[in-house]
Structure 1
Amino acid sequence: MSLIATLARLEAVNSGRAQPTATVRHRHLSDRPLVFVPLTTAGEAGAPLGALVGTDRDTPRLLAVPQPRDRDLRFAFLAELADVVLPYIDSYADAVEAAERNETDPETGKRVKVEVELCADAPQLIVPSRAGVDYVRLLGRSTRFRRTAEQDPESPHPAPPHVPLLGRWLTHFGERARVPGSSLLLALTEVLGRHWATGQSSLEDQHLGALLAWLDPPEGESGVRAAQWAELARDADGQLRCPPAGPATDPAFDNKLLAPAIERYDRARTALAAAEDGLEADDRLGALTAAEREVHELVRSRTLPTWQAVWRGLDLLRELPEGAHVEERWTRDRWSFTGHRDRVTAGEPPQPRRDDAVTAANKLATREREQARLEAQEALDDPLVMAGRRLAGEAFAGEVIDVVMAYSESKRPSPRPLVTVRTDDRPQLAERAKAYRSLGGKPQAAEFVEQAAEGVLVLRIVDRMGRGKEPEAGSVPEKGDRLCFTLFEHEQRGGAKLPDPEETPWTHGGPPGEQVPEAPDSVTQEDLL
């Protein structure tokens, strides 16, 4: 945690309200996000109990499973979820624009630009908390390998037709959520926590109701008291007034309301199956319908407060202006969405349960590179974030007090002006250390020469001054300019190219020998639904 974030938390405790840790919004928000508030059953990993899902804050679609142990009812829930999610995804798949991408020419081996299609926009899935992201990943893993009746007529429990496709898309959203800065799948508590600091722990911030209580407490109420009410307040029946939908449920709700309702549903279903004539069956069908409706209303009562809280949190985020680099990161999300759309359309198989060594290494390298890029871009977009880097000695700001033109010692001298900056910051500069400033959206590098006096630094500008002997206009700082230099690079370099999978050393799962593919749909404890 940065010093700025620590100070903000202390100020939140002192003032009773959350304190901003950003002045701009560092994540993309779609004009039409798909909000997904899931609810799971206690005692069985990932078993769905219900959900509220939709793009309209006033008309969410309620999905519920009246008996979570029934496989057919679980598949019916997943089929209904697919009926909502897949059309939403498809609505972004057809609108495309022309874009250029660098690819390797198979004949020459050189990198060339080719024109390809890029989706003009991409879908965005929003869940209340980090546990919701994990649940989306679990749903994807548990469904993408399921066999339908068309694929396997002899399957004892075939999945509805679109459920495996739903699983492939949920897996893609879950994998993309692991890339720093991605916005295809967002946990609202993490996005809010990135922009505001509360007076409670990061774990307590995962309760969306408590987090919003700090951000926007009721009139005349402090954040800490409002958060305590959101976490602990119960009604006369002992039920939480602000159910978290975590997506786990509250034990008091399970024991006092849900379990009896499911038991009544089971009795009504058993009675209907034992009915001997039509009149008796009609009466018992009415009882079964009433029992099912009761479970639906219980699910709605637990998810609706969180549904409303998600939209309230989105309203708070939309009040912040979007950061300058957010659109660039969203473009990379659009490339990711377009690529997966093309793989699905081409009929490629689902994502494997385990990545091979090259794929895993590439994913890890991508996440490390994107994390460094995200941290740099957030600092460049936001003076409050940059202040934290300055306090850490990773950047400094000051006024130019002198500029002396100098040239390199070579056959063709190039401009190497010396810029003297007075600063109150204390950067961690070593001899000949590199520093960078943003010039027209691109990094201009400088080299630390010496510390002329206390708080006075001399830097040598080394690039982005044109090809001539004289620097281009505006490329060299002038006396009186206020500048901010960073000690971290603004653009991240790619690592060494990894070998193709068929050329991977045997120590990493490659040749020699024919590799026997692992059964993709082996059931593990985490796959239980």
Structure 2
Amino acid sequence: MRALQRGQAVPIVAQRQLVIQPHARILTLLAMAGEDTSVHAAALGRFGYSPEINVVADPRRRDDQYGLLRWLLPLFEAYYAECRAAGTFPQIWVSSSGALGHLDTLADRLRFTDEDDIKRLGTLWTYAGERSPVAGQQALIAATKALCAHFATGQQEGEDEHLGSLLTWIEPPAGRDIFAAVATAEAQPMAEKTDPRFDRTALQPAIQDYNRARSAGESQAVLSFYHARIQQLLEGVIRPIYAATQRAMSVLTAARWQPNPALDALADQEAQEFERFMMARDQGYLLPYHDKPKAGAMKIVARERAELNLEAGMLRHDRAAREKGVVSGSVLRAQVVDIRQQKVRPRLFEYDFVLSSHQDGLHLRAGDELWTLDDPKMSLRVDGVERRGPFTWVTGRVLVGKNAAKRMSLGTTLDFGPEAPNWQAIGNELAQMSVRLTNVPWTHSDVTPPSAPIGKPMPADLLAAVERLA
């Protein structure tokens, strides 16, 4: 609402929300209309540098498109090798979620062609594609998603997927109505497809002329003329997309964004994931098109753990995430009202906290284990939650940090949330899942277990029996 009032996007965080690699590559691909797995034009470059551009006249001709992909392969081979030697990870920036999906689809398709070098490019792209749905990943970044993590605009979320209109909201032209400026920006394609009117009136006739000359056996000079015409048309589309992605990165690397310590762990984790991926390729392990049930279950576990670790890390180091947690009730912000000391045996004491909070939407129940999000490090097992007028009273026993609890002053305000992120714990969880999957549960097998006899007689009135349980 504030952005709509001002006619300009407003920042929603003060700290940077993602890692931006100084060596990141910007990749812009254009697909031919109706050919979702094609690459008509490609632009590749580093942040702050002009792109290298390659265009094929007609990507429906397999040899021509493979020629473009072979041009890309050594560029990505060199970049991945550079990152691996430096012990870091590659990062690819695309303009939008649509462009991200196009790259992911291409990676899947290219891995199963009959050309080894094309398979290799698909394999390299698969690293970024497989990482893209994982919470906290830093390998494949859509510029629109990155900007939306930092700004709120006065338009709908779906409209924010157009990078040009999103950047217009962030840096609107002076003295011009914001909606008129956005409408002008939306006329320029910003994803993987060209404008249908442009296709109909300019691009399609140019491709038809090229194919007609090729079928007629015209000289190479004539074909080069028609190819140059197509390249000129597509460069007029692809260069603004590349430039807009550069501009998005420039906005996000500005000095206004404060450092975020939570990103350090994400960068380390990404580097480890990249090294594991490349080692598996070196050892000859193939990437399947569809995961087997066990592999799929393992990936689900890994994604769930990544999401929990990301949330825990952000709640500790990102102020905006912390305040959102307080509002949503996932973070308990409370004052220490009482500390009860109980002697269990000589020189051993237990400490119970009584906390008071103004929050009325807390997601708490008895048995939950909460950890302080700041120093001192303590964990609390919730024993009771009670609402008294405008306050929520929480009682709990200190499990970890008893020395800190003993020195705690009444009236101190503490923030409690999930346990600190533990990226190494994923190994234990995967091992547990592997044990569970050793024996396939009956719900996923062809064998139905025998029915167990009922020990008690069936009640005469089943409905009444169920109601009595309430």
Structure 1 length normalisation: TM-score?
0.75
Cα deviation 1:199-255 (Å, max 9, x = unaligned) = 222211111001111111112345433222211xxxxxxxx4x222x1011101111
Q: After superposition, where does 1:89-488 map in structure 2 within 5 Å?
A: 89-95=80-86, 120-147=87-114, 159=115, 161-231=116-186, 240=187, 242-244=188-190, 246-271=191-216, 273=217, 284-319=219-254, 320-348=257-285, 350-400=286-336, 402-407=337-342, 409=344, 413-421=348-356, 423=358, 427-431=362-366, 433-440=368-375, 444-447=379-382, 449=384, 454-455=390-391, 457=393, 459-460=395-396, 462-465=398-401, 471-472=403-404, 476-486=407-417, 488=418
Cα deviation 1:40-86 (Å, max 9, x = unaligned) = 00012321111111115332010211112111001001101112212
Check 1:502–1:482 CA distance in 2 against 1; reply closer, same or farther (3 A cut): closer
Cα deviation 1:473-512 (Å, max 9, x = unaligned) = x8853245332223x4444776571237994639799999
**Secondary structure at the counterpart of residue 414 of structure 1:** strand
Check 1:288–1:504 CA distance in 2 against 1; reply closer, same or farther (3 A cut): farther
Cα deviation 1:84-138 (Å, max 9, x = unaligned) = 212111111223xxxxxxxxxxxxxxxxxxxxxxxx2111011111112211112
1:428 deviation in Å? 4.4
1:454 deviation in Å? 4.2
Check 1:285–1:508 CA distance in 2 against 1; reply closer, same or farther (3 A cut): farther
**Secondary structure at the counterpart of residue 241 of structure 2:** helix
Check 1:71–1:483 CA distance in 2 against 1; reply closer, same or farther (3 A cut): same
**Secondary structure at the counterpart of residue 46 of structure 1:** coil
Check 1:424–1:171 CA distance in 2 against 1; reply closer, same or farther (3 A cut): closer
Q: Distance in 1 between matches of 2:72 and 2:435?
A: 38
**Secondary structure at the counterpart of residue 416 of structure 1:** strand
8 Å CA contact 1:66–1:296 kept in 2: the answer is: yes
1:384 deviation in Å? 2.3
Q: Distance in 1 between matches of 2:408 and 2:441?
A: 54
8 Å CA contact 1:27–1:322 kept in 2: the answer is: no
Cα deviation 1:160-180 (Å, max 9, x = unaligned) = x53211111111210111111
Q: Which amino acid aligns with 1:322?
A: P
Q: Distance in 2 between matches of 1:137 and 1:380?
A: 32
Check 1:345–1:216 CA distance in 2 against 1; reply closer, same or farther (3 A cut): same
8 Å CA contact 2:9–2:152 kept in 1: the answer is: yes
Q: Within the alignment, does 1:68 sit opposite 2:59 as a pair? A: yes
Q: Distance in 2 between matches of 1:434 and 1:354?
A: 38
8 Å CA contact 1:502–1:510 kept in 2: the answer is: no
Task: Give the share of equivalent positions with the same residue, in percent.
Answer: 24
Q: Which amino acid aligns with 2:432?
A: K
Partner of 1:279: none
Cα deviation 1:242-295 (Å, max 9, x = unaligned) = 222x10111011111111111222233234x36xxxxxxxxx322221211111
Q: Distance in 2 between matches of 1:506 and 1:456?
A: 43
Q: Which amino acid aligns with 1:298?
A: L
Q: Which amino acid aligns with 1:481?
A: T
CA RMSD of aligned residues (A): 3.0
Cα deviation 1:432-457 (Å, max 9, x = unaligned) = 65433124495633535565774364
**Secondary structure at the counterpart of residue 447 of structure 1:** strand
Q: Which amino acid aligns with 1:362?
A: M
**Secondary structure at the counterpart of residue 139 of structure 1:** helix
8 Å CA contact 2:316–2:374 kept in 1: the answer is: no
Q: Distance in 2 between matches of 1:450 and 1:288?
A: 78
Q: Distance in 2 between matches of 1:186 and 1:376?
A: 22
Q: Distance in 2 between matches of 1:499 and 1:392?
A: 35
Q: Within the alignment, does 1:38 sit opposite 2:5 as a pair? A: no
Q: Distance in 2 between matches of 1:128 and 1:87?
A: 23
Q: Distance in 2 between matches of 1:372 and 1:72?
A: 46
Q: 5+ unaligned residues in a row in structure 1: which ranges?
A: 1-9, 96-119, 148-158, 232-239, 275-283, 513-529
Relative to its length, the structure with more helix (as a share) is 2
Check 1:501–1:81 CA distance in 2 against 1; reply closer, same or farther (3 A cut): farther
The number of residue pairs the alignment matches comes to: 439
Q: Which amino acid aligns with 1:478?
A: S
Check 1:422–1:48 CA distance in 2 against 1; reply closer, same or farther (3 A cut): closer
Q: Which has the higher contact order (CA 8 A, sep 6+)?
A: 1
Q: 5+ unaligned residues in a row in structure 2: which ranges?
A: 448-470
Check 1:432–1:69 CA distance in 2 against 1; reply closer, same or farther (3 A cut): closer
Partner of 2:463: none
